[in-house]
Chains A and B, each alone.
Chain A
Amino acid sequence: MKIRSVSYIAVLLALLFFAGVSSAAESIRIGALFSVTGPPSFLGEPERNTAQMVVDEINKAGGIKGRPLELVVYDTSGDPTKAVQLATKLIKDDKVVAIIGPSTTGETMAVKPVTEKEQIPLISCAAGSKITDPVNPWTFKTAQNDTLAVARIFEYLQKRKLDKVAILSVSDGFGASGREQLKGQASKYGITLVVDDTFGPKDTDMTAQLTKIRGSEAQAIICWGTNPGPAVVAKNVRQLGIKLPLFMSHGVSSKKFIELAGEAAEGIILPSGRVIVADLLPASDAQKKSLMAYVQNYKHHYNVEGDHFGGHAWDAVMLLKKALEQGADTPASIRDQLEKISGFAGIGGVFGFSPTDHAGLTKDAFVLVEIKNRDWVLVD
């Protein structure tokens, strides 16, 4: 038994050794870091699937200028340390020309110094606005800034003269970043935050926080988080008989949320990328073509509907493709070409980068949707 395990290790060692040696001749290598496992796997899994799907498609269609793409994906399991190590691996061992991902803001912030030092373009799939603010020459992102999502909700509230708001955010990177934006932008819209509370990502009962909110003079509740916390919040709101309008973030704009919250999801309003309402959009919408293609293709490959998390990876690969089609094939030229892209209608929105804007989206990237009869409806 023991001897056998030794031989297993030997085989593994050999595998690792040869994995580093083999390589295709003409292909363009791009790296990807996604947290396919770990707590953010709900982001990383669709992102990996999508990236792989898009790359396969591009290659089936003959590659880019005759050269196939080669995608090297590593799983960071949501750990910034691993993300840094793997970014180094992609750059030094796999010699990629650009990296897409990582999935979360924390990992991206950890990887950013590495890609900057090695001068490799990084197209992050995470939402935190501090990734591209201030602008870092080598870092781009495809996920919509939470700044824009917050603006969408606040505009809506302002229009309806609801100016006393309670916020309830999850205490992880996504929630913390959203909370920062909510607090920062409120005064601009004449909104006061009467309650500012948080809950843990694994918390199972939020009635205490909501009771506090019920006792306050809030006119609306904004909950910022990703599954499953917000579903518990929705259920608790219903349990406590709170009649205030409930807003959620784009972090729950997937069918999974409706499934988890059930009846309690009815009437919730949230900002979302257009992907979940692709079929409701008018044909004139700039993104309609990309959206329908992505949604149908994803369903065809993976039997579930494509969500907007996967969309971030779709956008990242397609933006890279655009840059490569312009003849760029070194990290520096890819970076320069990326910065010149404008009017590209992807999944997350219509991208337009510039030397001062590496996020590339406006608040039109979001639409407000309401949950009605277990489905999405466009608001206004």
Chain B
Amino acid sequence: MDFSQQISQYILSGLATGAIYALIGLGFAIIYNSTGIINFAQGEFVMLGGMFGVYFHTVHNFNLAVALLLAILFAAVSGVLFERLAIRPLRRATPLGLVIITIGGSILVRGLAMLVWGKDTHALPTFSGDEPLSLAGATLLPQHMWIFALTVLLIVLSKLFFQFTITGKALRACAVNQRAAGLVGIDVRRMVMFSFLLASGMGALAGIIIAPLTMTSYDVGIMLGLKGFCAAIIGGMSNGLGTVLGGLILGVLEALGAGLISSGYKDAVTFIILLLILFLRPQGLFSRGESERV
């Protein structure tokens, strides 16, 4: 086992983890861009995806594909419900109020999940077997390929969606200026709801494709949510490639940090990066600065 093989293993493992962070980060970015809200409950939808997946697959014996779709559907509906019940009624919302509401929401969702499904950790079967694949001196599982494939697919789809569909364009308009978007006849409220639908669905997908590798339980959402947020920050809260790159960079740095520096402090490395970026380039690594809005 030589050093270059080790490095390539770190990088590939990191990319796989990073892809997950990217998916979660995209959810943050979509909601932020259409509403200006950082949804602290985003991580909980990742958890919901995994837990609904386990619920439909092992309790109701649906086959994996059906369980996956149902899980995404249910998580997305929960996202919309969350928006309707907790975000929309809040008129004259201050950023502070929104931060607190979404934190409250995340605690509530986590608590309900614990009451309904218990505190146990659950595993899902892998989508296509457990035979390791060899790649550039590193080994990965077929599940990692699923993660890469689905992440790429989702990014391409969302790119197409934001570029070419009316709804996508309307969402982008909301991101630029909500009031102006409203003036040209875009139903801003529906767009906000829609962004929650998209974000929670994406989070749920992330939750369900990693469940076979990492297991899932009612409390996995906190850390994954935070990592996803870091990805989005590194990427400058963009709806697209920036966040994806942010996630991948974060994943690789984490794996390298754990392998070469210290596994105990690898999460600290993540958050030090987050702080440095917030201090030095709050607009993210890949976008140009924006003037402060009053």
B-binding residues in A (CB < 8 A)? 37, 39, 41-42, 45, 171, 197-200, 202, 204-205, 207-209, 211-212, 214-215, 227-228, 231-232, 235, 238-241, 256, 259-264
Chain A residues, Cβ within 8 Å of B121:
227-228, 231, 256, 260
Which of A204, A215, A240 makes the CB contact (< 8 A) with B214?
A: A204
Q: List 22 A-B contacts (CB under 8 A).
A: A41-B119, A42-B119, A198-B264, A199-B258, A202-B223, A204-B17, A204-B224, A205-B17, A205-B214, A205-B255, A207-B10, A208-B9, A211-B6, A212-B6, A215-B6, A231-B123, A238-B130, A238-B132, A240-B139, A259-B123, A260-B121, A260-B215
Distance from A217 Cβ to chain B, minimum over Cβ atoms (Å): 10
| B140 A239 Cβ-Cβ under 8 A | yes
Residues of B within 8 A of A211 (CB): 6, 9-10, 13, 259
Contact at B213–A205, with CB atoms within 8 Å?
yes
B140–chain A nearest beta-carbon distance, Å:
7
On chain B, the number of residues with a Cβ less than 8 Å from chain A's Cβ atoms is 41
What 14 new A-B contacts, CB under 8 Å, besides A198-B263, A214-B1, A262-B123? A197-B263, A205-B17, A205-B255, A207-B13, A211-B9, A211-B259, A214-B6, A215-B3, A228-B121, A228-B217, A231-B121, A232-B213, A238-B130, A260-B122
Q: Which residue of B16, B120, B130, B217 contacts A205 across the interface (Cβ within 8 Å)?
A: B16
Main secondary structure of the interface of A (DSSP, over half): helix
Q: In the complex the two chains form, is B267's CB within 8 Å of A200's CB?
A: yes
What chain A residues lie within 8 Å of B16 (beta carbons)? 205
Q: Mark B5-23, 1 if CB is under 8 A from A, else 0.
A: 1100110011011000000
Residues in chain A near residue B217, CB distance under 8 A: 228
Q: Given the complex, which residues of A lie within 8 Å of B29, measured CB to CB? A: none
B209 within 8 A of A: no
Report the minimal beta-carbon distance from B57 to chain A, rounded to whole angstroms: 14
Q: Give the docked Cα–Cα distance between A379 and B130 (Å).
A: 27
Q: How far is the CA of A262 from the CA of B255 in the complex (A)?
A: 25
Is the pair B119, A240 in contact by a Cβ cutoff of 8 Å? no
Which A residues lie within 8 Å of B214 (CB)? 204-205, 228, 232
Q: Which of B115-130 contact A (CB under 8 A)?
A: 119-123, 125, 130
B98 within 8 A of A: no
Given A205-B214, A209-B259, A211-B10, residue A260 in contact with residue B123 (CB < 8 A): yes
Q: How far is the CA of A256 from the CA of B264 in the complex (A)?
A: 26
B71 at the interface (CB under 8 A from A): no
Instruction: Report the minimal beta-carbon distance from B144 to chain A, rounded to whole angstroms.
Output: 9
Say whether, besides A198-B264, A202-B220, A204-B17, A240 and B213 are in contact (CB < 8 Å): no
Give the dominant DSSP class at B's interface.
helix
Of all chain B residues, which has the CB nearest A41? B119
B9, B222, B224, B255 — most chain A CB neighbours (10 Å): B9
Q: Which residues of B contact A202 (CB under 8 A)?
A: 219-220, 222-223
Complex Cα distance, B218 from A39, in Å, reads 11
Q: Is B192 an interface residue (CB 8 A)?
A: no
Contact call A256/B120, Cβ cutoff below 8 A: yes
Contact status of A45 and B119, CB under 8 A, knowing A200-B267, A202-B220, A211-B259: yes
The residue in A197, A202, A205, A209 that gathers the most chain B C-beta atoms within 10 A of its C-beta is: A205
Most buried by A among B210, B214, B264: B214
**CB nearest to B215 among chain A residues:** A228
B54 to chain A, nearest CB (A): 11
Are B264 and A240 neighbours in the complex by a CB distance under 8 Å? no
Q: In the assembly, what is the distance between CA of A235 and CA of B114, in Å? A: 25
- A239 touching B264, Cβ below 8 Å: no
Is B141 in the interface zone, CB < 8 Å from A? yes
Interface string of B256-294 (1 = CB under 8 A from A): 101100011011000000000000000000000000000
Q: How far is the CA of A13 from the CA of B35 in the complex (A)?
A: 42
Are B132 and A240 in touch, CB under 8 angstroms? yes
| Chain A residue with Cβ nearest B222 | A202
Q: Provide the bound-state CA to CA distance between A37 and B125, in Å.
A: 27
- By beta carbon, the residue of chain A nearest B140 is A239
Residues of B within 8 A of A45 (CB): 119
Chain B residues closer than 8 Å to A209, beta-carbon distance? 258-259, 263
When distances are taken between beta carbons in the complex, the residues of chain B under 8 Å from A37 are 114, 119
CB contacts under 8 Å to A, within B89-132, are 114, 119-123, 125, 130, 132
| A263 and B263 contacting across the interface, CB-CB below 8 Å | no
Complex contact B255–A215 (CB within 8 A): no
Complex Cα–Cα for A232 and B215 (A): 8
Known: A200-B267, A240-B139. A208 touches B119 (CB 8 A): no
- B160 → A minimal CB distance (Å): 30
Given contacts A215-B3, A256-B121, A262-B123, contact A240 B9 (CB under 8 A): yes
Measured between beta carbons, the chain B residues less than 8 angstroms from A171 are 264
Q: Which residues of A contact B223 (CB under 8 A)?
A: 202
With A211-B6, A256-B120 as given contacts, are A204 and B263 in contact (CB-CB < 8 Å)? Answer: no
C-alpha spacing A261/B123, complex, angstroms? 8
Find chain B residues with CB under 8 A from A241 CB.
132, 139
CA distance A215 to B219 in the complex (A): 33
Give A255 Cβ to nearest chain B Cβ, in Å.
11
Contacts of A264 in B (CB 8 A): 130
| B120 neighbours in A (Cβ, 8 Å) | 42, 256
- Find out whether the CB atom of A208 lies under 8 angstroms from the CB atom of B132: no
Question: Which has the most chain A C-beta neighbours within 10 Å: B16, B114, B120?
Answer: B120
**Residues in A neighbouring B215, C-beta threshold 8 A:** 204, 228, 231-232, 260
Q: Which residues of B contact A42 (CB under 8 A)?
A: 119-120
Q: List residues of chain B with CB within 8 A of the CB of A200.
A: 264, 266-267
- A12 → B minimal CB distance (Å): 19
Set of chain B residues within 8 Å of A208, measured between Cβ atoms = 9-10, 13-14, 254-256, 258-259, 263, 266
